[in-house]
A and B are shown apart, each in its own frame.
Chain A
Amino acid sequence: MAAVTMRLPAARAPLDSSAPRGGEKHLVAPGDTITTDTGYMRGHGTYVEDEKLIASVAGVVERVNKLVCVRALKARYNGEIGDIVVGRITEVQQKRWKVETNSRLDSVLLLSSINLPGGELRRKSAEDELAMRDYLQEGDLISAEVQSIFSDGAVSLHTRSLKYGKLGQGVLVQVSPSLVKRQKTHFHDLPCGASVILGNNGFIWIYPTPEQKDDKAGGYTANLEPVPLSDREVISRLRNCIMALVTHKIMLFDTSILYCYEASLPHKIKDILKPEVTEEIVLEARQRLLDSEG
């Protein structure tokens, strides 16, 4: 009954690259010379030495007119106004919560930026300040939107809408922020039977689709009933598919996750993480994505 599989490590061969989309990307490593032309202004990720423009991070060179900057491939999340993030409460302070969002500084969720349970709209009083821990505790997961950015780069969040708030039962997957594609909406109800929130900060939340949209809760009362086995299987399969896509650095958005899910159906859920099965599934999903594009 116990299944133990061991294997010898194999050097991971990169998936054969398809036709270059939109021209060659100029990839640089730290220390690489970008250009010796002194007419350019240097942006993020570059520095000047001996009249040469040198990259300080590993990434892609981006040029806008005279500004040259290097966008790092693996970096912490840089917040932008309007982004959807999934975060974990790390601290409860006076009138605000500190939220961990995989960025350089902890994000801030002010007491005045949340919706009260029951959907009340009123000014937060001193009692609310004392009762903060009843709303959100350390360790809780929330979905929120970026409201503004402080001067030091810390992000200020708000949950002033019924679709944001405390998250209930589900699975959190942490990936690199650069792999989450920017789209119009980040809340998806997948046809396979589960819902997913693709946070721009790389935190992906997979949860069972709630049956009816109840507005009265306001997002604070978590549903603590056991999730049925069929939903669990879908959620576990989605989680493994997302991990498979991340291993091969495929951008994450609802279509890519769905194609990967459908490609993985013939395999058992726990087999999806085996290297050969991962490669097979991801290749099939990538092929479908390319076919649907072109």
Chain B
Amino acid sequence: MASVVLSEAEKLYIVHGVQEDLRVDGRGCEDYRCAEVETDVVSNTSGSARVKLGETDILVGIKAEMGTPKLEKPDEGYLEFFVDCSSNSPELEGRGGEELGTDIANTLYRVFSCENSVDLKSLCINPKEHCWVLYVDVLLLECGGNIFDAISVAVKAALFNTRIPKVRVLEDEEGTKEIELSDDPYDCIRLNVNEVPCIVTLSKIGYRHVVDATLQEEACSLASLLISVTSKGAITSMKKVGKGSLDPESIFEMMETGQRVGKSLHIALQKILDEEENLGTSRAKVGFLG
């Protein structure tokens, strides 16, 4: 992860501030930075979203392609994640960003491994033969701390925005199956994202934990907990990162905070997605030149 170097006195200032619930930018320990979400930014994808959380900038594009279902799950489609961090800094170009990219992709696989998160059966066209595969590409445009949260919010927004064309399977007299795409380009199926989890990262700084850490705060924290929470507050997966250790009691506290914060995150995100949906075609697209 791209990290900043801080002097000991700066770290001490941050740690003391967190103990008193006043972070460097005036936020409390459970406040997120102001986030901007926009969907449908990339035109040649089935769904896309861009999330700006403070300095962190994430772009997610989803392409739906037809493929064969996996052998162990013949009547379901599946998701494939790929994360690219090369545009972040020179040290992450080429091979350097691979480690971070695979780390993030593995976390996303784990978060979405829960059975109910996405209705994979709706992605099936023909059991054992054809199904929709959603290729989710994540681009890390700028790293300003807390990339996991921003990525999960962007993935959820992109899944909400994804439009998969409706296909019909026609069977000939000989038994050969043909796939027919509907003529209307707006005839498509949308995914139900109510159960899609979002990741909440809780970084332990001193004796307290903070949500949405900036790069400077991440440099002061020795251990973090990544919790994926659904909109109802159910925890679907948990991962500890960092070289420090966590006390079992503090883990319970952090889980409770994660559930609470996760629920508000989902409410805020759903509100903004509905607002964008209601604006429809009259929405002024800002994109990258705003």
A residues at B contact (CB < 8 Å):
1-12, 88, 90, 138-141, 167-172, 222, 224, 226-227, 229, 232-233, 236-237, 239-240, 268-270, 272-275
Contacts and interface: CB of A to CB of B under 8 A. Distances in A.
B9 A168 contact: yes
27 contacts: A1-B30, A2-B211, A2-B260, A2-B264, A3-B30, A4-B261, A4-B267, A5-B35, A6-B272, A8-B36, A9-B36, A11-B290, A88-B5, A139-B7, A167-B9, A169-B9, A170-B9, A171-B24, A222-B9, A224-B12, A232-B17, A236-B25, A240-B25, A268-B26, A270-B25, A270-B26, A270-B28
A222 B24 contact: no
Interface string B172-193: 0000000000000000000000
Contacts of A140: 7-8
Contact of A8 (B6, B24, B33, B37): B37
B26 A272 contact: yes
B7 A167 contact: yes
Given A9-B286, A170-B10, A227-B13, A2 B22 contact: no
Interface residues of B, number: 45
B170 interface: no
A5 B34 contact: yes
A276 B283 CA distance: 19
Contacts of B261: 2, 4
Contacts of A229: 20, 22
A233 B264 CA distance: 26
Interface of B: 5-10, 12-13, 16-17, 20, 22-28, 30-38, 52, 211, 257, 260-261, 264-265, 267-269, 271-272, 275-276, 283-284, 286, 290
Nearest to A236: B26
Contact of A169 (B13, B25, B260): B13
B101 to A, nearest CB: 26
Contacts of B276: 8
Given A141-B10, A226-B16, A6 B35 contact: yes
B9 A8 contact: no
A232 B286 contact: no
Contacts of B290: 9-12
Given A4-B264, A167-B9, A11 B22 contact: no
- Central interface residue in B9, B22, B260, by most chain A CB within 10 Å: B9
A240 B30 contact: no
B25 A239 contact: yes
A243 to B, nearest CB: 8
Contacts of B23: 236
Contacts of B34: 5-7, 273-275
A124 B213 CA distance: 43
A4 B13 contact: no
- Central interface residue in A9, A139, A237, A240, by most chain B CB within 10 Å: A9
A15 B276 CA distance: 26
Contacts of B10: 141, 169-172
A138 B5 CA distance: 8
- Central interface residue in B7, B38, B269, by most chain A CB within 10 Å: B7
Contact of A7 (B26, B257, B265, B272): B272
Given A1-B30, A270-B26, A6 B9 contact: no
Contacts of B35: 4-7
Given A224-B9, A273-B33, A10 B25 contact: no
Contacts of B264: 2-4
- Central interface residue in B25, B31, B272, by most chain A CB within 10 Å: B25
Contacts of B25: 236, 239-240, 269-270, 273
Given A9-B286, A139-B5, A172-B10, A237 B26 contact: yes
B215 to A, nearest CB: 11
B49 to A, nearest CB: 11
Contacts of A236: 22-26
Contacts of B268: 4-6
Contacts of B275: 8
Nearest to B54: A273
- Central interface residue in A4, A140, A141, A229, by most chain B CB within 10 Å: A4
B38 A139 contact: no
B26 A6 contact: no
A169 B5 contact: no
A81 B33 CA distance: 40
Given A226-B16, A229-B20, 16 more contacts: A1-B260, A2-B31, A2-B211, A4-B31, A5-B32, A7-B36, A8-B37, A9-B36, A9-B38, A12-B290, A139-B7, A167-B7, A232-B17, A233-B22, A239-B25, A270-B28
